[in-house]
Amino acid sequence: MTRFSGMAVLKNALNGHKGWREQWPDSEPKKEYDVIIVGAGAHGLGAAYYLAQEHGITDVAVIDKGWLGGGNTGRNTTIIRSNYLYDESARMYDHALDLWEGLSQELNYNVMFSRRGVMMLAHNVHDVQSFQRHVHSNRLNGVDNRWLTPEEAKRFCPPLNISRDARYPVMGAALQMRAGTARHDAVAWGYARAAAARGVDIIQNCPVLAVRRGPDGAVEGVDTGKGFIRAKKVAISAAGHTSVVMQSADVRMPLESYPLQALVSEPVKPCFPCVVMSNAVHAYMSQSDKGELVIGSGTDQYVSYSQRGGLPLIEHTLAAICEVFPIFTRMRMLRKWGGIVDVTPDRSAIVGKTPVKGLYVNCGWGTGGFKATPGAAHTLAHTVARDEPHPINAPFTLERFTTGRLIDEAAAAAVAH
Amino acid sequence: MSTHRIAGKGRFDHGGPVRFTFDGKRYEGRRGDTIASALLAHGVHLMGRSFKYHRPRGPVCAGTEEPNALVETSRGKGRFEPNTRATAQELREGLEVRSQNRIGSLAFDLQAVNDLVHPLFSAGFYYKTFMWPRSFWDRVYEPVIRRAAGLGRAPDAPDPDRYAHRNLHTELLVIGAGPAGLAAALAAARAGAEVTLVDEHAEMGGALLSDPDVVIDGKPAWDWLAAALAELDRLGVRRLTRTTAIGYYHQNFVGLCQKLTDHLDEPPEGAPRERMWHVRAVRVILAQGALEKPLVFDGNDRPGVMLAGAAQTYLNRYGVLVGDTPAIVTSHDSAYHAAFDLADAGAKVAAIVDVRAAPGEGVLVEARRRGIEVLTSHTVTGTNGRLRVKSLRVAPVSGGRVGAARTIACDCVLMCGGWTPSLHLFSHTKGTLKWDEALDAFLPDRSAEECHIAGAGRGLWGYGAALADGAEIGVTAARALGLDAEAAAPVVERDRTGTGETFKELPTDGDAGRKRAFVDFQNDVTAKDIRLAVKEGMRSIEHVKRYTTNGMATDQGKMSNVNGLMIASDAVGKAPPQVGLTTFRPPYTPTTFGAFAGYHRGRHFEVTRRTPIDPWAEAHGAAFEPVSLWRRAWYFPKAGEDMDAAVARECAATRGSVGIFDASTLGKIEVQGPDAVEFMNRMYTNPWTKLGIGRARYGLLLGEDGYIRDDGVIGRLGEDLFHVTTTTGGAARVLNMMEDYIQTEWPDLKVWLTSTTEQWATVALNGPNARRVLEPLVEGQDLSAEAFPHMSVAECTVAGFPARLFRISFTGELGFEINVPARHGLALWEALMKEGERYDICPYGTETMHVLRAEKGFIIVGQDTDGTVTPDDAGLSWAIGKKKADFVGMRSLRRPDLVAEGRKQLVGLMTEDGDVKLDEGAQVVADPEQALPMKMIGHVTSSYYSAALGRHFAMALVEGGRDLEGRDVFVPTPEGIRRATVTTTAFYDPAGERLKV
């Protein structure tokens, strides 16, 4: 692996960029691996990296039906925060946040983690109660989150409309200063490069058709577009398509897949310093380093695997943006796109073992998986390596939907991730 | 003075100047000009600066696909906008135009220093550096990068303009009014189809507007065009100009954005600026034509270098000669026509440089006739000129080797790398593409929608071919609509057609690594950036795009995608179809947020639901709070009162005498049918079979997961008729949930649901004097405790209005809820107020309602529950019918975790000091001294001051809470640790004596 640094950039600038090498090879599958990870998003690639880096397991393949980072990793609005209500969630996302803070250096790849603060707006008494509960709970969990008055919120984000006459006036906001954004593609690429450097094979354009189980019920490997690949341990990290892959191993997942849309504006000079989320009016926004306003929309009302959503939802989202930030009405949408999110009944993820020996799963991150990337990857690697969950992902079991021990972030707060 | 306007050329009237400014300098243009055509008429090419290197740039195009000539425009306060395409924005009187993305002047931009050190800024350089020291990224590096990035400035004031939405169903939607679209619309409309024809330009005609010499059906092109448009109008075709089809959605749903006022000197007062059309079409014809591709060579981005077709458009449509000595660089015959038109208009063509060995014979003859030098098998190895191209260096290519270069002086370079069909809308439908070997282009293949593609959009070049195909496709569409139709293709003479070849970057001499051949002009992506990305392992075209940002500029890759693909596929070593294109994303061109928002702005962002009694509350000074879509009276302050004082007064008045409350927002559902009882038994936890007619019961609704979803009082009015009430916020959700069960789980049940929330106005009367106020107004029902006990319901007359009268209480006092048809709600309220005068009747709002119910320990679903609370957790086990066979959520209630020890239970909390209020949402701990993270055992759900108790009190969900009664727990807050004692939730009149009157 060529080490990246300012000096390397300078050196290559002078020699016509002759010194750069491929960041990861496009591997062909071997017949057998110790571990196969299905899904080359940042979660799957990250898990491969941590397997190699922390557990010494390098005979690993990450397999994807398309190009790496092409699923939700490359389609989200890059928001990173950890101010979740429940202890289990707070620990998972705060663990991720700890890893985010050193990720560029750890991977030697600038993922542009930017602590610019995430502000969540309260628009009615119920929001206020709910967010204050978050602030109190976060404080006792050691998670950064504080309450702002409407005036303080406006000072933090000048384009905000705090008029009392607004249809949904801003009644306050919860601010996590440690939260922010990162460059989503770079996260996938950084993990891919670091994993490949440690011996991991990244196999793209190779659909996994089925998980194959042996006579004893344990995992034997996966059937793919490039033939059968043997492995005693298989981890599924396939976001919106997890339920389809798991079905092939006869495991029915409590997941529903929905299209979720996002969009960006044309780029403009810096005008929006932070991330703002307004759940009551369904608007999420930040400004990328390139200058585009990055805006998250909601999920369509119907389940679907089509990576495009309808027009009405985008209209509602932009109406909400114009309501909360009226100076942006003349800004133009440059492009919009969709991704498929996998949603569990309690809107929390499933990371851990399954009823099938040797089969592990990481899914159900819904609309909020990006922020969890290092945490999910790190704990999934631990689970696969040790065949038992890390204490942080231990509560995120599949069984909880049978026992009823839910981690119900959605119900608790009615806050989208 | 317009130095480059050619008399007798152009579509529009050369009279009447239109005045505008550019960077403060005054200019005159002509009506019908774009900003770009007007500036070009003055010899101005320099209009912008590129994104990264801040290189000087001029327009490349004459349409909406322009990547370079982006400007800021304004029309007074709030009407400022960045990134407007100078090539598309029509001139209007007084238009203020300013160049953007520069420090200093447009001609001398300080940020152009980036261009001097450009080797540092190769593809993806920022992923490789700025990592040390760790804290510097978001403190130092990122702010610097962010300031340098971005194009224009953001608007800084609210937009005063209006935006509109409109729905349209049409039989046939034709997108694009060039020759193919016009022929298609004509053919279909002649067959009797109902047709809508849209085009993004100010006038229809497409390429015909740039080629007046073509002869169609014996007429000059523009005469034929005028006749065709007149015929379309006679046939009743709906024609929309300045209207862009932005996205193609499922089931032939197309979004159109129509620009209405940006071109007008003085827009009519209140006229919408843009209108978003939601079109559902039976059939769609895509006739969007093709886009001309730039050629990729060193220095292809200097001002004065533009597409040959654009120069032809500027001349023929706008009467503007873009240069006096143009040089043409091409790999397609079509650029020759541009050269001929410019030469015929008086330009001295410096040379035609053709990359190909063998151009079409016809165009060579024509060139020779005009005395234009044609250099075949030649390449361009560079250009010169800082703010305007001055010359280009050309060299022969033979056997792959580049020979000695010579310099050709020129004042503009017109390039043409061939044409690529506009595939955007087709691709929105997830239609598949196929690679055409002969054309070196992707063409539409299989469509997922009922759509047809006509003309250049499917690789047919030339007017004869486009018109014939359009007519044929129009007939096909008409027949698909069940109409008889015959195709009649117009006869075309003096057609302009030809062939070409597609190249990657042009061969060059010297050190190729130092050449800067631009692919994405706006984002400053060069051919070598793309090759570097591939070398670094970015082998998917999506990776190349994301790593280099090629195709991510505001032209959405219209100029760059295919050239980027040709270079990437060469670098990867695969054929273009194996590499493929990146996904086309809506919108087709950038579209204002306002157009999407439409009418949904300000007060109309979402409807505000108001009860029939809302005007009274407003007139009496109520403070309001939003509750879901409703606005509800929150409290009724008297002069000098704050909320706490008003609520304390309202509470005392209600408990002391009588209070009146507008409960109209409660959800109401009429459940009716022979199986109504069975349905209620399955839906709610409570037993309903034995509930007598005329009786009411508190109903509890769970989700499948066993957690509380909603509650409300339900009255039985007949054997097969229930009056169900829900929470205000839950009304729609509950009805949906019920319908879901009826339609998918229990279709055999004969039961019907009707939302009656807005049909009934509901007034609650509470307090020891409630009966005295109500009794004189009631006819048809004895209100005595014996005849009408607590939890009764009756149909009777109140204040002369037909009513459903409930005796129920959400306050613990003697209470009635009177439902009358909504139109009588206000009159009922006023009658009760009048009758209550002698008892000092007190109107109260939602806050007092909350306090009074909390004093009784009644829950608010969503406040005291959060989706993880079972009936037992909330102390509502009594509401479960123990003998019932089933109800929604029953099975889940037996799950291990729902019957486990230590679940959070709803209890009361009394602070040590009654003056201390606990925050709603504050967390409860057993040990306040522990270190972070603390073990939390619960949280405060409701917290109020109680006038009746003379102190603050709270409810909380606490682990094993009922076993902790009498014990102390702690609530840590930023202000300090609060000690509180756990109590029951029956704070006031625990025996319920006050109901028994």
Token duo for residue B675: 């199986």
Tally of residues, chain A: 417
Instruction: Say whether B83 and A320 touch across the interface (CB within 8 A).
Output: no
pLDDT confidence tier of residue A300, bands split at 50, 70 and 90? confident
CATH of residue A323's domain is 3.30.9.10
Peptide bond into A169 cis (omega under 30): no
Closest chain A C-alpha to B768 CA, distance in angstroms: 30
Token duo for residue A143: 């998670």
Instruction: Say whether A311 and B126 touch across the interface (CB within 8 A).
Output: no
Given the DSSP bridges, would you call strands A32-38 and A227-236 parallel, antiparallel or unpaired?
Answer: parallel
For chain B, give the mean pLDDT.
96
Q: Is B122 helix (H, G, I), strand (E, B) or coil?
A: coil
Helix B334-344 vs helix B361-370: angle between axes, to the nearest 10 degrees?
20
Amino acid at B830: E
User: Are the beta carbons of B146 and A291 closer than 8 angstroms?
Assistant: yes
Same domain? For A350 and A338 the reply is no
Which of B127, B136, B624, B849 best tests the A interface by mutation, with the highest count of A CBs <10 A? B127
Query: Which is higher by pLDDT, B472 or B16?
Result: B472
Give B209-267 pLDDT, tens digit per residue. Answer: 999 999 999 999 999 999 999 999 999 999 999 999 999 999 999 999 999 999 999 99
| Position A330 in a domain | yes
Return the residue of A nearest to B705 by Cα.
A404
pLDDT confidence tier of residue B16, bands split at 50, 70 and 90? confident
Question: Residue A62 phi/psi, 5° resolution?
Answer: -110, 120
Amino acid at B267: P
Q: Return residues 706-745 of B near A (CB < 8 Å).
A: 706-707, 729
DSSP structure class, residue A286: E
Instruction: Say whether B546 and A411 touch across the interface (CB within 8 A).
Output: no
pLDDT confidence tier of residue A299, bands split at 50, 70 and 90? confident
Q: Return residues 908-947 of B near A (CB < 8 Å).
A: 919-923, 925, 932-934, 936, 939
Same domain? For A189 and A249 the reply is yes
Instruction: Say whether B131 and A5 touch across the interface (CB within 8 A).
Output: yes
Same domain? For A275 and A248 the reply is no
Query: B-chain residues within 8 Å CB-CB of A411?
Result: 707, 866-868
Beta bridge partners of residue B972, listed in sequence order: B977
User: Are the beta carbons of A331 and A268 closer than 8 angstroms?
Assistant: yes
Cα(B683)–Cα(B710) distance, integer angstroms: 11
| pLDDT on residue A413 | 45
Same domain? For A351 and A237 the reply is yes
DSSP structure class, residue B212: T
Q: Who's near B639: CB < 8 A, 6+ residues apart?
A: none
Cα(A49)–Cα(A378) distance, integer angstroms: 9
| Position A377 in a domain | yes
How many CB pairs below 8 Å do chains A and B form together?
338
Cα(A141)–Cα(A130) distance, integer angstroms: 16
User: Are the beta carbons of B767 and B656 closer than 8 angstroms?
Assistant: yes
Query: A-chain residues within 8 Å CB-CB of B863?
Result: 126, 129
Token duo for residue A233: 């341990």
Instruction: Say whether A17 and B119 touch across the interface (CB within 8 A).
Output: yes
Among candidate residues A315, A343, A371, the one where a domain is terminated: A343
Q: Give the DSSP H/E element, type plus range, for residue B821.
A: strand B815-821
| Position A83 in a domain | no
Q: Give Cα separations from B1 to B9, B32, B345, B388 (angstroms).
A: 17, 18, 19, 19
Return the residue of B nearest to A271 by Cα.
B154
Domain annotation for chain B: domains and CATH numbers: 10-155 (3.10.20.440), 164-290+421-493 (3.50.50.60), 295-416 (3.50.50.60), 511-580 (1.10.10), 891-995 (2.40.30.110)
Given the DSSP bridges, would you call strands A208-213 and B253-259 parallel, antiparallel or unpaired?
Answer: unpaired
Closest chain B C-alpha to A214 CA, distance in angstroms: 32
- DSSP output for B129-181: S--SSTTHIIIIIHHHHHHH--SBPPP-S-----EEEEEEEEEEEEE--SHHH
Same domain? For A247 and A220 the reply is yes
pLDDT confidence tier of residue B14, bands split at 50, 70 and 90? low
| pLDDT on residue A165 | 86
Same domain? For A210 and A338 the reply is no
User: Are the beta carbons of B212 and B220 closer than 8 angstroms?
Assistant: yes
Question: Residue B342 phi/psi, 5° resolution?
Answer: -65, -40
Cα(B743)–Cα(B740) distance, integer angstroms: 5
Query: Which is higher by pLDDT, B996 or B911?
Result: B911
Number of independent structural domains in chain A: 2
Task: Choose the closest CB to A114 out of B120, B128, B138.
Answer: B138
Instruction: Say whether A105 and B511 touch across the interface (CB within 8 A).
Output: no
User: Are the beta carbons of B981 and B916 closer than 8 angstroms?
Assistant: no
Which of B74, B75, B116, B131 best tests the A interface by mutation, with the highest count of A CBs <10 A? B131
Q: Is B107 helix (H, G, I), strand (E, B) or coil?
A: coil
Instruction: Say whether A269 and B528 touch across the interface (CB within 8 A).
Output: no
Instruction: Say whether A20 and B974 touch across the interface (CB within 8 A).
Output: no
User: Are the beta carbons of A314 and A263 closer than 8 angstroms?
Assistant: yes
The answer, yes or no, to whether residue B158 has pLDDT greater than 60, is: yes
Of A87, A106, A2, which Cα lies nearest the Cα of A373?
A106
* Percent residues over pLDDT 90 in chain B: 92
Residue whose pair of structure tokens reads 């009237």 in the numeric block = B13
**Mean pLDDT across the stretch B874-885?**
96
Task: Choose the closest CB to B128 out of A8, A70, A169.
Answer: A8
Q: Who's near B65: CB < 8 A, 6+ residues apart?
A: B291, B555, B558, B559
**Mean pLDDT across the stretch A352-372?**
96
Give B811-829 pLDDT, tens digit per residue. Answer: 999 999 999 999 999 999 9
DSSP structure class, residue B138: I
Give B657-695 pLDDT, tens digit per residue. Answer: 999 999 999 999 999 999 999 999 999 999 999 999 999
| Position A326 in a domain | yes
| pLDDT on residue A414 | 41
The answer, yes or no, to whether residue A155 has pLDDT greater than 80, is: yes
Which of B128, B593, B866, B893 best tests the A interface by mutation, with the highest count of A CBs <10 A? B593
| Position A320 in a domain | yes
b/e burial code for range B962-988 (CB count within 10 A of at least 16 → b): eebeeeebbbbeeeeebebbbbebebb
Instruction: Say whether A5 and B587 touch across the interface (CB within 8 A).
Output: no
Query: B-chain residues within 8 Å CB-CB of A323?
Result: 600-602, 605
The answer, yes or no, to whether residue A415 has pLDDT greater than 70, is: no
Give B540-578 pLDDT, tens digit per residue. Answer: 999 999 999 999 999 999 999 999 999 999 999 999 999
Query: A-chain residues within 8 Å CB-CB of B133?
Result: none
Same domain? For A189 and A242 the reply is yes
Instruction: Say whether B546 and A74 touch across the interface (CB within 8 A).
Output: yes
Among candidate residues A343, A364, A382, the one where a domain is terminated: A343
Same domain? For A66 and A166 the reply is no
CA angle B742, B743, B749 (to 5 degrees): 45
Q: Give the DSSP H/E element, type plus range, for residue A219.
A: strand A219-224
DSSP structure class, residue B700: E
Beta bridge partners of residue B106, listed in sequence order: none
User: Are the beta carbons of B229 and B507 closer than 8 angstroms?
Assistant: no
Closest chain A C-alpha to B696 CA, distance in angstroms: 29
Same domain? For A120 and A141 the reply is yes
Same domain? For A246 and A374 the reply is yes
| Position A304 in a domain | yes
| pLDDT on residue B488 | 86
Task: Choose the closest CB to B596 out of A68, A318, A411.
Answer: A318
Among candidate residues A297, A325, A343, the one where a domain is terminated: A343
Instruction: Say whether A336 and B587 touch across the interface (CB within 8 A).
Output: yes
Query: A-chain residues within 8 Å CB-CB of B155?
Result: 327-331
Task: Choose the closest CB to A318 out of B153, B593, B604.
Answer: B593
Q: Show the beta-strand stretches assigned E in A39-152.
A: 60-63, 79-80, 118-122, 146-148
Query: Which is higher by pLDDT, A309 or A267?
Result: A267
CATH of residue A247's domain is 3.50.50.60
User: Are the beta carbons of B879 and B686 closer than 8 angstroms?
Assistant: yes
The answer, yes or no, to whether residue B874 has pLDDT greater than 70, is: yes
Residue whose pair of structure tokens reads 């509401």 in the numeric block = B879
Task: Choose the closest CB to A167 out of B593, B597, B603.
Answer: B603
Of B810, B773, B776, which Cα lies nearest the Cα of B790?
B810
Query: A-chain residues within 8 Å CB-CB of B933?
Result: 87, 90-91, 140-142
Question: Residue B365 phi/psi, 5° resolution?
Answer: -60, -45
Burial class (CB in 10 A: 0-12, 13-18, 19+), A357: middle
Q: Who's near A156: CB < 8 A, 6+ residues apart?
A: A117, A119, A148, A173, A175, A273, A274
Same domain? For A323 and A335 the reply is yes
| Position A100 in a domain | no
| Position A316 in a domain | yes
Q: Which domain holds residue A55?
A: 24-78+184-254+346-401
Question: Residue B910 phi/psi, 5° resolution?
Answer: -115, 115
Query: A-chain residues within 8 Å CB-CB of B138?
Result: 113-116, 180
Task: Choose the closest CB to B895 out of A26, A310, A402.
Answer: A402
Closest chain B C-alpha to A386 CA, distance in angstroms: 27
Query: A-chain residues within 8 Å CB-CB of B158?
Result: 326-327, 329
Task: Choose the closest CB to A326 out of B138, B158, B538.
Answer: B158
Same domain? For A174 and A271 the reply is yes
Token duo for residue B739: 């319908």
pLDDT confidence tier of residue B1, bands split at 50, 70 and 90? low
